[in-house]
Structure 1
Amino acid sequence: MTKIGYARVSTTDQDLTGQVEALKATGCEVVREEKASGTTREGRSELATVIDFLRPGDVLMVTRIDRLARSIDDLRAIVREVADKGAAVKATEQPFDTGDIYGELTMNLLGVFADFETKLRRERQMEGIERAKAKGVYKGRPPKIDTDKVRELRDEGMGATAIAKEMGIGRASVYRVLDEG
C-alpha cells in the first residue's frame, strides 16, 4: 500500500508547507502540490496525476476533504474515480476512510459542508459587490489589456491574430477592443 499525498491551496500567496508536513508525517511517500481553486477540477493537473498514479490498495491522502474538492459533485466523482482504481481516500484532520460505509457517510457530510461554505462565501461576495455598486465605489477588475497598444498595432498594419500573439491575449479580446472604437 502506497500513501500518496495531495496538498492544495486556492491562491498563489497561500502556503502549502503545513499540509505537506502533515501528509509526510502520515507516511506519504509522494506529495503533489497545487495552487488552484477547489471549486472545479479544471486546471488541476497535479490532482489528475495523483489519480492516474493510484494502484489497487493505495491511499490518496489529504489534510481535509475541502483540499480535494469544494463541490459535492466533484468530490463524489473524485472518490468514485479513486475507488474504481481500487484505492481509498483518507484525511489527516478528519476521521474518515472511504473504504467503509461510515467513512463514505462522513466524507459525504464533510463534502456537503465544504460545498455549502463555498456557496455562502460566493453569496457574501455578491452582496458586497452589490453594496459597493450602489455606493458607486465598485469599478470591477482593472483592465489588463492596453487598448491603446492594440489600436496602435492595428494602425501599423497588424492583423488581429498577430496582435493577439504579440500581446499575449486572445483574438476575441483584440476584436472586442477594435469594435469598441
Structure 2
Amino acid sequence: MIIGYARVSTEEQKLDLQIQALRAAGCSRIFTDQGESGSKFSRSGLDAAMQHLHEGCTLVVWRLDRLGRSLFGLVQLMERLSKKGIHFRSITEHIDTASSGGRLMFHMMAALAEFERSIIAERTRAGLAAARVRGKTLGRPRLLSEQDLDIALSRLEDGTEGLTDIARSLNVSSRTLSRRLTTAKIRKRTPLQISPLHDTSLSQ
C-alpha cells in the first residue's frame, strides 16, 4: 500500500498541488495537515498516517520539508519507518529508501544530522565556558533579592501579615519565600526559622 502525506503551514495555503502529485505517484490514501508547523513531528494527520502504515507499505511526500523541517527529526522518523519495514519516498528530491541509492541518501542525512547535533553541542559548551570566564552567573536567576528578603522578614516580625500574603505581594510561592528566609543570611541576621504558626493569614 502506498500512503501519501501532505502539509501546509497556514490555513490560507492550499494542499491541491501536493495531493495531485501524490495521486500521480500512486497513493491509495492521503493524510493531510493544514495550518501545522513543520517544526513538530506530532500532528493529527501525520499520526494517522503512521498508524495506517505497516510492513511493506510506502510513505510518500511531495517534498521532504512537508514531512518536517528538522533534519534530526526527519532522520528519527525515517528510522522508525525502516525498523517497521516501511519504505519512504520524496517525489521532489527523488529519495526512495526502497532503492540502494535512496538508502545511501538516508545514511548521508543521518550523518549530517549527527554532525549538526555535535556542532550545536560544541557551540553550547563554548558559550558556557566563555560565560564562566566573564564571571557570568549561570543557571536560573534568583527570584528574590536580599532587599526583598529583608523587607519580608521585617513584615513577618511585625506580626500583621502572614507568610502567604507576603509571598503573594512578591510574586513568589509561600514555599519559595519560606525556603529563602530559612537558608539566607540577611544583613548579618541569622536565618529565621519559619513555621506554619508565622502565617497568620491561614488562621483568619
TM-score for the superposition, normalised by structure 1: 0.56
**Cα gap change, 1:19 to 1:107, in 2 (>3 Å):** farther
Q: Name the count of aligned residue pairs.
A: 113
Residues 1:75 and 2:74 are matched in the alignment? yes
Determine the structure 1 residue equivalent to 2:85. Answer: 86
What code does the residue aligned with 1:37 have?
S
Determine the structure 1 residue equivalent to 2:39. Answer: 39
- Mapping 1:56-71, distance limit 5 Å: 56-71=55-70
Determine the structure 1 residue equivalent to 2:25. Answer: 26
What code does the residue aligned with 1:99 have?
A
Determine the structure 2 residue equivalent to 1:106. Answer: 105
Larger radius of gyration: 2
Determine the structure 2 residue equivalent to 1:132. Answer: none
Structure 1 position 19, deviation (Å)? 0.1
Secondary structure at the aligned position of 1:19 is classed as helix
Note the aligned Cα RMSD (angstroms): 2.3
8 Å CA contact 1:98–1:104 kept in 2: the answer is yes
**Cα gap change, 1:39 to 1:104, in 2 (>3 Å):** farther
Superimposed CA distance per residue, residues 126-167 of structure 1 (whole angstroms, 9 cap, x where no aligned partner): xxxxxxxxxxxxxxxxxxxxxxxxxxxxxxxxxxxxxxxxxx
8 Å CA contact 1:89–1:97 kept in 2: the answer is yes
**Cα gap change, 1:110 to 1:9, in 2 (>3 Å):** farther
- Mapping 1:1-20, distance limit 5 Å: 2-20=1-19
Secondary structure at the aligned position of 1:79 is classed as helix
8 Å CA contact 1:65–1:110 kept in 2: the answer is no
Unaligned 5+ residue runs, structure 1? Answer: 117-178
Determine the structure 2 residue equivalent to 1:49. Answer: 48
Structure 1 position 105, deviation (Å)? 3.8
1:55 and 1:14 mapped to 2: Cα distance?
A: 30
Superimposed CA distance per residue, residues 55-76 of structure 1 (whole angstroms, 9 cap, x where no aligned partner): 1110000011111110011101
TM-score for the superposition, normalised by structure 2: 0.50
- Residue identity over aligned pairs, in percent, reads 34
Structure 1 position 101, deviation (Å)? 4.7
2:80 and 2:88 mapped to 1: Cα distance?
A: 10
Structure 1 position 40, deviation (Å)? 1.3
8 Å CA contact 1:4–1:58 kept in 2: the answer is yes
**Cα gap change, 1:108 to 1:67, in 2 (>3 Å):** farther
Structure 1 position 32, deviation (Å)? 0.6
